[in-house]
Structure 1
């Protein structure tokens, strides 16, 4: 399932509760200097659950892959509440923008991608969200950080 989003004049919007945003930021910082990865479950364009995952890539310093076992567990859980998946990962030493390899992988899946950059440490990581179409074309959306309930 591809995450439902809401349109804005600048593209699409994904709403992320601040507590989940901070969980993701802590997860990608803990993975440094390697890339860290995980998934989010969303309903109607609002993130409802974070699924931090272990990066099982052969070269985790410059690529991220969620294990097959974890991805099945995540899909099953998201399906249970009829949600949509959003993939996230970090770029330890570069901008929060899809690399050529990110675009190649993302265009196969159709999922939204949230990318965190850690390049300005000790400043906190920052995130951007993207939709990558089957041709590899990138559209940036907006992350709306919601106050925690």
Structure 2
């Protein structure tokens, strides 16, 4: 199960809406070994594509250096789908390289940049196996 704060949920959804029609991507870092998603880091989609995302390698390296220095790890890796459901594509599954992370997908296909509900789902992806998990949005992490 993924437990995230309302503020983290809102930040991820806002990023997905803002970048629509291109896919948005980012990481939520947390203290190493805690499974607590605390720090939302919006990343640039280097692909600039409505059907694919790619972290900028320089930006990603800098983020990992920051996380190592702060004893953090990627707790959530997120991106949006702009025209399809919030389910990992074959490409997404192939790129999933953090077996301990929660992979969050947000679909903006129905409302794009506008207000309205989004599809927000989380998965564990390890060794090519995709397992959907429950998402609990709480007022604050305790």
Q: Which TM-score band applies after superposition, normalised by the shorter structure?
A: 0.7 to 0.9
1:97 to 87, 91, 106: 87
Any gaps of 5 or more consecutive residues in structure 2?
A: none
Q: TM-score, normalised by structure 1?
A: 0.82
| Corresponding pairs, count | 134
Q: What secondary structure is seen at the aligned counterpart in 2 of 1:75?
A: helix
Partner of 1:133: 126
CA distance in structure 2 between the aligned counterparts of 1:126 and 1:119, rounded to whole angstroms: 9
Spell out, residue by residue over 1:11-58, the C-alpha distance to the aligned partner (whole angstroms, 9 max, x if none).
Answer: xx222111111111111111101111011112312211000011001x
Partner of 1:38: 26
1:143 to 105, 129, 135: 135
Q: TM-score, normalised by structure 2?
A: 0.85
The 5 A counterparts of 1:53-68 are 53-57=43-47, 60-68=49-57
2:10 to 22, 29, 52: 22
CA distance in structure 1 between the aligned counterparts of 2:2 and 2:72, rounded to whole angstroms: 13
